[in-house]
Amino acid sequence: IGASNRRYAHIGDIIVVVIKETVLNTPLERSKVIIAIIVRTRKELKRDNGMII
């Protein structure tokens, strides 16, 4: 949220999202703006110590 010039989000980043579709019986509504955290990505993350997540 704080960085204004970043193009991509990574694991652990907090982002602003809009709900496009929901599952029945959930408290979320369509077209609602919420804050979310990136938990999982398609591309693996390589840390400085060599570990790959």
Residue 43, classed as helix, strand or coil, is coil
In the chain, what are the domain boundaries?
Answer: 1-53
Q: Given this model, what pLDDT does residue 3 score? A: 67
Q: Which superfamily, per CATH, for 1-53? A: Ribosomal protein L14/L23 (2.40.150.20)
pTM: 0.68
Cα dihedral 15/40/52/47 (nearest 10): 10
| pLDDT value, residue 6 | 82
pLDDT reported for residue 7:
87
pLDDT at 37: 96
pLDDT of amino acid 13: 92
Hey, what amino acid is at 31?
S
CA-to-CA separations, 7 to 1, 10, 23, 49, in angstroms, rounded:
12, 10, 29, 25
pLDDT under 50 in the chain at which residues?
A: none
